[in-house]
Structure 1
Amino acid sequence: MKKIMMILSLLLTFAVALAGCGEEKVTTKPAEEKNVKIEKKEMPVEEKEDESIANSQEYLRDMTNVLEDFTVILNDFAELSTQAGQNPYVMTTNDWIMDTAIVLTEFDTAIQEARAIEEPENPELLRSHRLIMQAMDEYQFIVDNYPDAIDNLDTDLLNECILAMSRARGYFEEAITINIDVQETL
């Protein structure tokens, strides 16, 4: 019973950590467009600036689209974690197990989509992009380890997932601040 109470407490903590995630937006540029660029030596200064602005705007748009989907998945994951935190026995139901497996698969797909976005040229956006990739590493840890933590009632591993969620949230908050600042200058 003590272990179930510990799991309950950790799941509630996890749900609270998840509840703070969401609504972050960022963007990137498709690889095929990078190959079409005109050599920079031949471009007048104004065209270089226009291309740099276009690159930044495209990055922000693309990353925003991916992260909007990501936010929906995080919210679904938070809901499932909250259900488990409120009633640990729900983790034994086929519905909860299936829903969690689906969300974790969607989570993994969204992580891969974010990683597929090409790094931006803008130095500030590049800093933001790298923070987002650090967040994706933390989320990947959760995708890889959350099922084992739940299946084995491993409170230590569940706690590590909670810490990974917290670190990811911090990376996202910093990245979003950078992106907002860059958007205001474009």
Structure 2
Amino acid sequence: DMTQAASTGGMMEMPRASRGQAHLKLAEFAAKQLRGETRVASFSLNGWDTHSRQKRNLGAALERLSGCILALKQGVGPAVWDKTAVVAMTEFGRTVRENGTGGTDHGTGGTMVLAGGAIRGGRVYGRWPGLEEATLYNRRDLMPTGDVREVCAWIMRGITGTGISDLETKVFPGMQMAQDPGFLR
């Protein structure tokens, strides 16, 4: 129930949410902080680990993500939203085929969602290798075609002006930034 306020360096208490609405309270709290001095907010949404009954569980997780993005947009207001980039990502992908319990186990490749007024939207970024068995990683996972750290680095570069050298060596050590993919407006 505590959230880190990045720019102030301290812990701030988040209000308790009613059952089933915690994700919206979290987004509203983040929006309130972003209207102030805070420039970076990070939080986690549960419900993505769909080892079984994926058809039922994934829809609810996507609804929570959508609700959070809309709550952030409404909460920060138009002036802040125009300068905002939202990155929704996971630390692991999913297998291409469902398992015996109707879910997908931990895989390699995945997806991320970019939103916000600062994002050049309306397009799909990245390379699509396909779903044919020969194009899968280990014949079971979507083939990874990029590094999620690079996406975050280019967005940080565009919004904060952080130097490429610092992003490659201090923020994301060992990552190489290719040509700017143009995520930001």
Q: TM-score, normalised by structure 1?
A: 0.28
Q: Which has the higher strand share?
A: 2
Greater relative CO (CA pairs within 8 A, separation 6+): 1
Larger radius of gyration: 1
Q: TM-score, normalised by structure 2?
A: 0.28
Q: Which has the higher helix share?
A: 1
